Amino acid sequence: MNNSLLAQPLICASGQLLNGLLAYYPQAIHSPDTLYNDLAENLPWQQGSILIYGKRHKIPRLQCWIADPGLNYTYSGEQLPLTPWPPLLQQLRLELNQAFDLRLNSVLCNLYRDGQDAMGWHSDNEPELGSDPAILSVTLGAQRDFALRPTGSTRQSAKIALEDGSLLYMKAGMQSLWQHAVPRRAGIRSARINLTFREIIQ
């Protein structure tokens, strides 16, 4: 019996996106509904805040930070509470490390409750991620657009529809050249969980 959380084999359907800096695996997670339900029910989700022009505002999504002991993560000046690895995410982390030859030691979980929850333009370039981070992003639940634009631009130049059970591999070098966002979508009424696995550099 196959108890792997990753599909076997992993099939990349993207070709060469962003000159090879991005790869998309549309059916990467085996039984994504099981993983989604476990995380939606059992993670200690909370709504954080972001600092804008000196004032704190609630972010339009719920979050949970999971990492090895002592690995902290600061987002917009706010340190997220550290949650230990639950069994399914620990297993998925180990499988991803093996499949992509990485040393992932943390995951930022985001719960988008419907299409009004969103993520603004940004790069994952916090100092604790090092100078050239590689990040694996898993989508569970509702399909959402992943918008892209070159760093320094003010206009979207591309987008990828991230489907349930998919995996997006943002390779080393992408964060310095590109920004990404998850825009609001009024017609979406179901939830999406996004798992962004990364390595915190100590």
Q: Where are the domains of the chain?
A: 18-198
Rounded CA-CA distance 29/166 in Å is 7
**Domain 18-198, what fold?**
Jelly Rolls (2.60.120)
Per-residue pLDDT of the chain (202 residues; tens, 9 = 90+): 468 999 999 999 867 799 999 999 999 999 999 999 999 999 999 998 877 788 888 999 999 999 999 998 887 678 889 999 999 999 999 999 999 999 999 999 999 999 999 999 999 988 899 989 999 999 999 999 999 999 999 999 999 999 999 999 999 999 999 999 999 999 999 999 999 999 999 7
For residue 117, give the 3-state DSSP assignment: coil
Scanning the structure block, which residue is given the tokens 């825009």?
Answer: 183
Instruction: Using alpha carbons, select from 121, 124, 120, 113 the residue that is nearest to residue 168.
Output: 124
Instruction: Using alpha carbons, select from 139, 144, 142 the residue that is nearest to residue 191.
Output: 142
Residue 75: alpha-carbon gap to chain centroid: 14
**Side chain identity, residue 123:** S
**pTM of the entire structure?**
0.95
